[in-house]
Amino acid sequence: MSEGFGEPSAASKPKTKAGWCEQCIPRVYCEALQTHKWHVHLKKARVEYPDGVAKDITRDPDSHEFHCIRCTYRHKDSQTLRCTAIATAVVPDDPDVHSGAATYA
């Protein structure tokens, strides 16, 4: 089936969807709704460190950020926290340190 006249092709459609966040009071319009929900409404992040220790980290209610339990790093995005846990690992000669140590909540 062909696309309608004037519609962008599937390749050029944006990967993020805009919309109203129904969880915010008052409602907030977001250009990237899913990203907004990850940054604002996700309460816990599961972080697995390269040494195998896995922890559920709860968003700090005052700063609205996830705080790493092993260093002073903090960020509002749980995925950034997971990546930092891997990137800052002290495992200098381990080629598998970046091969899936991060898990998704």
pTM greater than 0.85: no
Distance (Å, rounded) from C-alpha 43 to C-alpha 62? 13
What mean pLDDT is reported for the chain?
Answer: 75
Distance (Å, rounded) from C-alpha 34 to C-alpha 40? 10
pLDDT band at 18 (very low <50, low <70, confident <90, very high): very high
Highest mean pLDDT among 1-5, 23-27, 86-90: 23-27
Closest Cα to residue 84, out of 45, 58, 44? 45
